[in-house]
Amino acid sequence: MKRVLIYIVLYLVSVSAYGQQEHLYTQFAFNKIAFNPAVAGENNFTSITGINRSQWSGLVGAPQTQAINVNLGTISDKYGFGLSLLKNKVGIQDKLEIAGQYAYKLKLNKSTLNLGLQFSGRRYTTDFTDPSLIAIDGFELDPSIERSKYSNTVLNIGLGVYFKSENIYFGFAIPRIIEGDIDLESENIITKEERHMYAMTGFKLELSQDWAYHPQFFFKVAEQSPFNLDFLSLFSYQDKIYLGGNIRAGGSQNSLLNSFDIVLGFQFTPNIFAGMSYDFNLTDLSQYENGSFELSLTYSFEKSNLPKRISNPRYFPR
């Protein structure tokens, strides 16, 4: 009975995270290193980004994510490094993750081709003592249900490639290559980390002296899960104000469109950028939740020999 309960909970947790084990961000354009290790060192300055995401607000046990991503761009012209820390909670399961990124940068005239490598480790903890967990007939009537915490640590490796020119970028990554065992019991391997594949591309189109258009596409797919496709239509004003809408398709067998999202960004100073987004759920789940909120804050450390004004190199090609 204990084994059955564990597998049921893990199955529901994985389904509630829209059929995948990786984290979800609407502001992927402002945080590409979270998906592709080859983005490490893409700029000639260092940036630190903090993110807080509350998915499906109002739904008990919905995913909550906090993350910090460091992109080191000042160490070497040939190498890039990054560091990511993440905490994710879904229901009674917590996940702590640390990942290190390395990228080798190849100069191709005015373009750059990065080859990336990532090492990551995750600590999964499932707490059956959580007071929010309810048994219909009561836990005391079934002694086989052990109310305790289960933990498991998994290591993995990932690869990525990232190309960036003056007005366009594209990248492809598999952040987890090894299908690691994340079962709470070791007798049989039923639950494992699935491989996720990410592909993204975007370009910058100057509309006038002040306005620019930044369309971007982000394709996500995991083994044994439906695909997801994001189309972000983003406009910027003087590289200081960003406003756009994102359409997310896939992820559900019952609905082609998953959500419509509003994205805002503000370059307050040459060093400080803040982003926010709100997702309108278009699936049947919208009856039980109040949308998803996401906040991000980035601080960039300029090199002293750079111009004082930074023109959005963190997010789009120059």
CA 238 to the chain's CA centroid: 27
Rounded (5°) CA angle 177-178-180: 140
Return d(Cα 89, Cα 199) in angstroms, integer. 26
Contact 218, 246 (CB under 8 A): no
Instruction: Residue 62: count other Cβ atoms within 10 Å of its Cβ.
Output: 20
Output the pLDDT for position 62. Answer: 87
Tell me the pLDDT band of 252, cut-offs 50, 70 and 90: low
* Residue 301: closest CA among 280, 261, 273: 273
> Alpha-carbon dihedral of residues 26, 83, 113, 210, nearest 10 degrees?
50
Is the predicted pLDDT of residue 115 greater than 80, yes or no?
Answer: yes
Residue type at 151? S
Mean pLDDT of the chain: 83
> What's the rounded mean pLDDT across residues 246-272?
88
Q: Where are the alpha helices (DSSP H) in 46-158?
A: none
Q: Which residues contact 205 (CB under 8 A, 6 or more apart)?
A: 167, 212, 213, 214, 215
> What's the rounded mean pLDDT across residues 205-226?
90
Return d(Cα 15, Cα 228) in angstroms, integer. 14
Q: Is the pTM above the cut of 0.85?
A: no
| Tens-place pLDDT, residues 171-194 | 999 998 987 666 665 555 566 777
| Tens-place pLDDT, residues 48-99 | 999 999 998 888 888 999 999 999 977 778 899 999 999 999 888 899 999 9
DSSP lists the bridge partners of residue 192 as: 181
- Which carries the bigger pLDDT value, residue 95 or residue 315? 95
> What's the rounded mean pLDDT across residues 197-215?
94
DSSP lists the bridge partners of residue 260 as: 247, 280
Return d(Cα 187, Cα 190) in angstroms, integer. 9
* Residue 7: closest CA among 251, 253, 221, 188: 188
Percent of all residues in the chain with a pLDDT value above 70, rounded to a whole number: 78
Contact 152, 184 (CB under 8 A): yes
Tell me the pLDDT band of 119, cut-offs 50, 70 and 90: very high
- Which carries the bigger pLDDT value, residue 313 or residue 136? 136
Output the pLDDT for position 288. Answer: 86
Domains of the chain listed by start with CATH number: 2-301 (2.40.160.40)
